[in-house]
Amino acid sequence: MIDNYLWTELVAFAQYKTLAQTAAKLHVTQPTITRGMKKLEDDLGVQLFKRQPNRISLTKTGELAVQEAQAIVAANEQAVEKIQNFAQSQQVITIGATIPGPLILLKSLQAQLPKQVQLTAQLQQTNIPDLLNRRKFTLLLSDQEIFTDQIESRFLGTERLAVNLNQFMYQANQSAITFKELKGLSFLVLADIGAWNNVINQNIPETKFLYQQQSATFSEITKYSDFPFFSTNLSKFDPQFDQRNNSEDSRIELPITDDAAHMPIYGSYLKSQKPALKVILTEIVQNWPQD
C-alpha cells in the first residue's frame, strides 16, 4: 500500500511545478520531496518523472498518476472530515437554514430545545444533500423537499410573505394585496433573505430594493423612514421586529395573496438522524403560526 503522504506530495508537485516550491508549500526540505518522489516511483514500479539537470517534469504516466493522486487525496480528506463531523454529531445537533424565517422561530424556542442543539446563523447556499451527507449539519431548514436513499424531508409549515405599508398610501386601504399592486414602489430589504430574494425580484421586477446588510441598521432606517418593507408570519418571533412595529409606526401589515408569496418549509435530515430530531421537529411544528 502506498502511503498517502506520497500522493499528497505528487499532487503538490503537479500544482507548484518545482521541487523547491513543493517543499516550501508543504513545509519540508527539498531532499525530503526528492526522496518521496523516488519512493513513489519505486512503489509503483513505473517512471513518473523526466529528470534533466536542474529540472524535473512529469511523464505521461506521471500525469495520469497525478489525476489518480488528486482523487485519492480528495477522498481521504472527505473521509476524515466525515468521520470528524460524525463524531461531533453524536454530541451536537447542528441546525442550519437557507432562509432566515425558520431560524428566527428556532431561536425563540431555544430554551425549549435539547441543550446540544447548535443554531448556525449564516444562511447556507450550497448543496443540501452534500452538507447532510458530510455531516456538516444534522438538520437543514429550506424550501426544498428532498428524498434520497439516505435523506428525507418533513413539512414544517408555510411561511407567508406580507408587506408593511404606510397607512396613508392608497394601496394600504385594503385587507390584502398582490405583487402587481406593489409595482413601482421602493422597499427596504434585508440583504440575506435566501429564496425570498428571488421571489420578490421575479414578481415585482420594476421595483427598487434598498438592500441593508445589517439587521440593526435595517431596523433603524425603518424607524425613521416611511419606506415599505417585507415581513412574514415568522417575523414576529424576532425581537427586533417589535422595534419596527412600534406604536409610533404608521405602517400596516398586508398579506400578499399570490401563490409565490406562500413558501412551504421543510426540515431535511439523514434518515439515521431522525430519532435524535423527533423532539425538535415536533416543537417546530407545534409552534408554527397557524393562519
pLDDT digits (tens, 9 = 90+) for 169-221: 888 889 999 999 999 899 999 888 999 999 999 999 888 999 898 888 888 88
Residues recorded for the chain: 291
Buried b (16+ CB within 10 A) or exposed e, 113-149: beeebbeeeebbeeebbebbbebbbbbbbbbeebeee
pTM as predicted: 0.69
* Cell digits of residue 137: 449539519
* 163: CATH: 3.40.190.10
Q: Are residues 148 and 276 in the same domain?
A: yes
User: Does position 90 have pLDDT exceeding 70, yes or no?
Assistant: no
User: Does position 248 have pLDDT exceeding 70, yes or no?
Assistant: no
* 80: CATH: 1.10.10.10
How far is residue 155's CA from residue 160's CA, in Å, rounded to a whole number?
Answer: 15
Confidence (pLDDT) at 247: 53
Q: How confident is the model at residue 245 (pLDDT cuts 50, 70, 90)?
A: low
Q: Are residues 81 and 114 in the same domain?
A: no
Residue (of 98, 162, 145, 144) closest to 124 by Cα position: 98
Q: Are residues 268 and 183 in the same domain?
A: no
User: Does position 115 have pLDDT exceeding 90, yes or no?
Assistant: no
Q: Give pLDDT tens digits for 97-113.
A: 999 999 999 999 988 88
288: how many CB neighbours lie within 10 A of its CB?
Answer: 17
Q: Give pLDDT tens digits for 13-62.
A: 999 988 889 988 888 888 899 999 999 999 999 999 998 888 889 999 99
Confidence (pLDDT) at 233: 94
Residue (of 98, 78, 96, 75) closest to 86 by Cα position: 78
Confidence (pLDDT) at 172: 81
Buried b (16+ CB within 10 A) or exposed e, 62-92: beebbeebeebbeeeeeeeeeeebeeebeee
How far is residue 101's CA from residue 201's CA, in Å, rounded to a whole number?
Answer: 18
Q: Are residues 212 and 244 in the same domain?
A: yes
Mean confidence (pLDDT) of the chain: 89
Q: Are residues 140 and 20 in the same domain?
A: no
Q: Are residues 74 and 121 in the same domain?
A: no
Confidence (pLDDT) at 171: 84
Confidence (pLDDT) at 158: 96
Phi/psi class of residue 88: alpha, beta or left (left: φ > 0; alpha: ψ in -120 to 50)?
alpha
- Helices 30-44 and 19-26 pack at an angle, to 10 degrees, of 100
How far is residue 228's CA from residue 244's CA, in Å, rounded to a whole number?
Answer: 11
Q: Are residues 143 and 62 in the same domain?
A: no
Instruction: Domain count for the chain, please give it.
Output: 3
Span between the terminal Cα atoms of the chain, in Å: 62
Q: Are residues 218 and 197 in the same domain?
A: yes
What average pLDDT does the segment 245-254 reach? 73
Q: Are residues 244 and 225 in the same domain?
A: yes
Q: Are residues 150 and 273 in the same domain?
A: yes
For 105, the domain range is: 89-156+263-287
What average pLDDT does the segment 132-142 reach? 93
* Cell digits of residue 94: 447542528
20: how many CB neighbours lie within 10 A of its CB?
Answer: 12
% of the chain at pLDDT higher than 90: 54
Among 58, 86, 114, residue at a domain's last position: 86
Q: Are residues 241 and 171 in the same domain?
A: yes
Among 86, 109, 133, residue at a domain's last position: 86
Q: Are residues 36 and 174 in the same domain?
A: no
Among 32, 61, 86, residue at a domain's last position: 86
* Cell digits of residue 7: 500522493
Give the dihedral of Cα atoms 11, 13, 17, 19; nearest 10 deg.
Answer: 170
| Residue 161 contacts residue 182 (beta carbons within 8 Å) | no
